[in-house]
Amino acid sequence: MKIDFANLNRQYLRYKDEIDASIQSVIDRSAYIMGDEIKLLEEELSIYTGTKHVIACSSGTDALLLSMMAIDIKPGDEVITTPFSFIATAETIAFLGAIPVFVDIEEDSYNIDTSKIEQAITNKTKAIIPVSLYGQPADMDEINAMAKQYGLKVIEDAAQSFGAEYRGKKSCNLSDIGCTSFFPAKPLGCFGDGGAVFTSDDALADKIRSLRVHGQTRRYYHKFIGMGARMDTIQAAILRVKLKYYDEDLKQRQRVAERYAQSLNNNSLKANRTSVWAQFSIEVDHRDELQRLLKEKGVPTAVHYPKPLHLQECFQYLGYKKGDFPIAENIASRILSLPMNPDMNDDEVSYILEQLREV
């Protein structure tokens, strides 16, 4: 048997007619930039998450940039985040000239360890960016409480957790600002790059909308230095179709995750929250060899992520060294993501589990 890690093609074929018609409609109207679908998608995302404002944009990375620009993150400011994430989380902080300050993660959830945040706060700290990794929200209540005490903003990097719940509220709606990504392999993916910013703060929403289009307040009048960070109308048209069926996708992901969890005796979900299972990851010894053997059996796996951010070459100038964040470093050396997608059938899951047990 040959397994597909994300199986984007099967997902497309399920909704092919509707998606094709939706794309064609944008082309027929030549509504490529800021067509009606953008506003409609934003309204639907707002209803889905319960967030007052949604600003669709060009990627998850740009969502993070727009958010930090909106709260005036400036060169020399410090922003606290996790060393165990995709590079974009910390890269965008550094891109604005601010300083990523890392705090180690928890062993069970792989999310930022809130008990270690306070000692990282200085008088230069402006914001905290927790990541809801693999689809499971971080400890947002504790993080928001600490931020309030120190006058900091909180931006949830919800690139992997769109649709997850935390104490009955949706991810992206758990702090001052939420950012998500619609990169094709994320739980809700479009057919290229896409992202969105979520906030219930009117002033921040206005500013982010302006920053998205070169800081303009009306055409050719520019109040801020902004970006060209719009979402393509075609992507919005695709996402509107996929969003309609998203809760069914999440049920299918949950079904796969339950079978994995049961069979591998692995349950890393914390109380009061759900996961959208962007990844189902396990910890193993001899990871590289295991990966190779599984590949031979037709079971693709992936490593999210092999090198923690504080040890990346691009961040050498920050002066971190090996041993600074032992939990993130240990997990990075042992983590392995199994195939996960809503279109995997029971036979495929059984096959994966069989091969895993064998090797």
Whole-number Å distance between alpha carbons of 104 and 131: 12
Q: Which of 183, 233, 227, 231 is nearest to 208 (CA)?
A: 227
Q: Which is nearer to ligand PLP, 128 or 349 (CB)?
A: 128
Whole-number Å distance between alpha carbons of 57 and 198: 11
- In whole angstroms, how close is the CB of 87 to ligand PLP at the nearest point? 8
Structure tokens at 119: 């000692």
Q: Which is nearer to ligand PLP, 160 or 171 (CB)?
A: 160
- In whole angstroms, how close is the CB of 133 to ligand PLP at the nearest point? 7
Whole-number Å distance between alpha carbons of 218 and 236: 23
Residue with the CB atom nearest ligand PLP in the bound state: 60
C-alpha pair distances (Å), 141 with each of 26, 75, 147: 41, 28, 10
CB count in 10 Å sphere of residue 70: 26
- In whole angstroms, how close is the CB of 196 to ligand PLP at the nearest point? 10
Query: Contact positions toward ligand PLP, by CB under 6 A?
Result: 59-61, 85-86, 88-89, 131, 157, 159-160, 181, 183, 193, 195
- In whole angstroms, how close is the CB of 202 to ligand PLP at the nearest point? 26
Q: Which is nearer to ligand PLP, 62 or 343 (CB)?
A: 62
- In whole angstroms, how close is the CB of 190 to ligand PLP at the nearest point? 9
Contact assessment for residue 196 and residue 179, using Cβ atoms and an 8 Å cutoff: yes
Q: Is 47 helix (H, G, I), strand (E, B) or coil?
A: helix
Contact assessment for residue 279 and residue 339, using Cβ atoms and an 8 Å cutoff: no
Q: Which is nearer to ligand PLP, 147 or 188 (CB)?
A: 188
- In whole angstroms, how close is the CB of 181 to ligand PLP at the nearest point? 3
Q: Which is nearer to ligand PLP, 105 or 349 (CB)?
A: 105
Residue partners of 138: CB distance under 8 A and separation at least 6:
109, 111, 112, 114, 130, 131, 132, 156
Q: Which is nearer to ligand PLP, 186 or 349 (CB)?
A: 186
